[in-house]
Each structure stands twice: as structure tokens, then as C-alpha cells.
């Protein structure tokens, strides 16, 4: 069964450093998302992406964040200068369509720890 994959599973970084979280969505999916979940808190939407453009972003997704689909398979989230409060689990998700509600398939997540 196709699945969303994410690498690395755990990333430790120093405050102020740049990190890139990688995701490989399901191959025939067209819509991609990033969510984050701070330990013990709810899953929060960050950004949705379609046709090589950001479709929607939340207040959390400020200038420190960017997303990219550098090739036909990868979807990345970059945090330019990490802060302590960026420590969270980051989930990538993908779906076949975005115009109507459709099941979003989540990856296993990358746990980011900022020291």
C-alpha cells in the first residue's frame, strides 16, 4: 500500500540553524501539506501546496518557513533560523484532490528538537 514517507525521523539542531525536513508524498497525489504538533498539544496546520504554489498558510507559517517541491517526488519544509519553540513533531500529508474534502494521508512525522 502506498504511503507518505518522511526523513529524518528525528532531527536535533541548535537554535538559529537552518533545517530542512523532507517528505515523499504518495506518487499520484497532487496536494501536499505540512502540519506540526508540539508535544501534548493539538495538530496544527502550517501550509498547503498545489501546482508548485502555496495554496493556504496559517499564522504560524511566517517568513522563517518555506516549502518547495524541488523535483517530482520530494516535498520539503525549510525553517531558516530555528527557535526553541519550533521543537515539535512535523507531519507531512498528501491527498489526491483538494477541491472537495478528501482523505489526507499522513507521514510518520519528523521529530524536531531545537537546543
Partner 1 sequence: GQNIDQPTEMTATEGAIVQINCTYQTSGFNGLFWYQQHAGEAPTFLSYNVLDGLEEKGRFSSFLSRSKGYSYLLLKELQMKDSASYLCAPYSGGYQKVTFGIGTKLQVIP
Distance CA 94, CA 107 (A): 9
Candidates 20-28, 63-71, 73-81, 104-112: pick the segment binding partner 1 (CB under 8 A): 104-112
Residue 103: CB atoms within 10 A of its CB come to 8
Is 5 a binder of partner 1 (CB under 8 A)? no
Rounded to 5°, the CA angle 51-48-2 comes to 80
Query: Minimum Å distance from CB 25 to partner 1?
Result: 13
Is 110 a binder of partner 1 (CB under 8 A)? no
Output the nine-digit C-alpha cell for 29: 497525489
Distance CA 115, CA 101 (A): 38
How far is C-alpha 41 from the geometric centre of its chain's CA atoms? 17
Chain residues 37-96 in contact with partner 1, contact rule CB under 8 A: 41-45, 48, 50, 55-56, 58, 91, 95
Query: Minimum Å distance from CB 49 to partner 1?
Result: 9
Query: Minimum Å distance from CB 16 to partner 1?
Result: 27
Amino acid at each position: 500500500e502506498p504511503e507518505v514517507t518522511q526523513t529524518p525521523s528525528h532531527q536535533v539542531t541548535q537554535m538559529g540553524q537552518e533545517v530542512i525536513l523532507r517528505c515523499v508524498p504518495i506518487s499520484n497525489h497532487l496536494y501536499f501539506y505540512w502540519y506540526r504538533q508540539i508535544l501534548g498539544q493539538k495538530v496544527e496546520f502550517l501550509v498547503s501546496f498545489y501546482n508548485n504554489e502555496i495554496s493556504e498558510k496559517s499564522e504560524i507559517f511566517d517568513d522563517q518557513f518555506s516549502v518547495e517541491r524541488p523535483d517530482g517526488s520530494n516535498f520539503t519544509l525549510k525553517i531558516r533560523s530555528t527557535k526553541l519553540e519550533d521543537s515539535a513533531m512535523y507531519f507531512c500529508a498528501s491527498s489526491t484532490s483538494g477541491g472537495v474534502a478528501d482523505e489526507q494521508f499522513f507521514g510518520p512525522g519528523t521529530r524536531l528538537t531545537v537546543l
